[in-house]
């Protein structure tokens, strides 16, 4: 599958690799693990699901891991299937385009940031809204998959997707349709916290796309650190060059250094490059 071509694109199975594969495998493994637990004991399944799904009053106090584990807890097979396919189709394309490091950081930014914002809203102003206050539980991979779809539509808004050679739709319209349909389902079933979580994931995804470096935050931080280190080394070399220049002037000799403090050999231009005697 090549979303970035000029013509319409037929949705086919893209390469299954990288961070996208890890996210999908984690969601599928957890789904079947909970399914097996449900065959053993419904109470055990409910207990484990409650430990890893997002509950604002617990996530911000004791069960902090819920802020990053809730995308992998899915109880419905069809919900998991469509969410996984969305992540697979659009996540693999964005990962090929922007890199695995970017995809991993994008997942953490959406999942963790969206959960934090949604939990704070639920525990503050959400107390006065039915279905939004504490006591509500949210899970599934849908918030992240929709944020991923919105980011793809933001980067390639006019890219046409051709489903089964019948319906040809631009990416921006597909993204709007998906989000509105999901929000309508959640709001009609009074799952307002799930709807809020989708919006906060989308918000954090847009902020990450807008402000994060193209090659990832970690890469930019490493580049910044090594840039500062190299600048410090160059400043020390320039200071040493100035001291050496003053010393040689006192000895009646002139030496030259470039702007980085490197010695300029006055005989370099006159030296025969094929003559290796000067190296001894």
pLDDT digits (tens, 9 = 90+) for 45-102: 889 988 999 999 999 888 999 999 999 998 788 889 989 999 999 999 999 998 899 9
Residue 185 backbone dihedrals phi, psi, to 5 degrees: -65, -45
Local confidence band at 245 (pLDDT 50, 70, 90 cut-offs): confident
Q: How confident is the model at residue 266 (pLDDT cuts 50, 70, 90)?
A: low
* pLDDT given for residue 12 in this prediction: 57
Beta strand 9-10 with 160-163 is parallel
Model pTM score: 0.72
Annotated domain spans of the chain? 9-212, 228-279
CA distance 77 to 118: 25
Yes or no: domain 9-212 corresponds to CATH 1.20.1540.10? yes
Q: Is the C-alpha dihedral spanning 246, 252, 253, 254 positive or negative?
A: positive
pLDDT tens, residue by residue, 187-226: 888 888 999 999 999 999 999 998 877 655 555 555 555 5
pLDDT at 204: 94
Which residues have C-beta within 8 Å of that of residue 138, sequence separation ≥ 6? 53, 54, 70, 118, 191, 193, 194, 197
């Amino acid at each position: 599958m090549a979303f970035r071509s000029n013509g319409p694109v037929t949705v086919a199975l893209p390469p299954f690799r990288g961070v996208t594969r890890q996210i999908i495998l984690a969601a599928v493994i957890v789904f079947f693990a909970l399914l097996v637990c449900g065959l053993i004991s419904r109470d055990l399944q409910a207990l484990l699901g409650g430990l890893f799904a997002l509950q604002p009053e617990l996530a911000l106090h004791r069960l902090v891991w819920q802020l990053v584990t809730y995308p992998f807890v899915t109880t419905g097979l069809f919900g998991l299937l469509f969410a996984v396919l969305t992540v697979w189709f659009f996540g693999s394309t964005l990962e090929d385009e922007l890199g695995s490091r970017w995809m991993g950081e994008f997942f953490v930014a959406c999942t963790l940031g969206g959960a934090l914002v949604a939990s704070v809203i639920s525990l503050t102003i959400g107390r006065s809204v039915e279905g939004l206050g504490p006591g509500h539980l949210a899970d599934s991979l849908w918030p992240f998959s929709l944020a991923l779809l919105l980011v793809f539509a933001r980067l390639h808004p006019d890219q046409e997707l051709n489903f089964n050679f019948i319906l040809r739709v631009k990416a921006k319209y597909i993204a709007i349709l998906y989000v509105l349909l999901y929000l309508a389902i959640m709001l009609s079933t009074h799952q307002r916290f799930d709807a809020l979580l989708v919006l906060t994931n989308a918000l954090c995804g847009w902020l990450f796309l807008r402000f994060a470096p193209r090659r990832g935050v970690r890469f930019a931080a490493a580049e910044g650190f090594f840039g500062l280190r190299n600048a410090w080394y160059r400043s020390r070399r320039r200071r040493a060059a100035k001291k050496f220049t003053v010393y040689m002037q006192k000895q009646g000799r002139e030496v030259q250094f470039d702007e980085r403090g490197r010695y300029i050999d006055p005989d370099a231009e006159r030296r025969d490059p094929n003559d290796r005697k000067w190296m001894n």
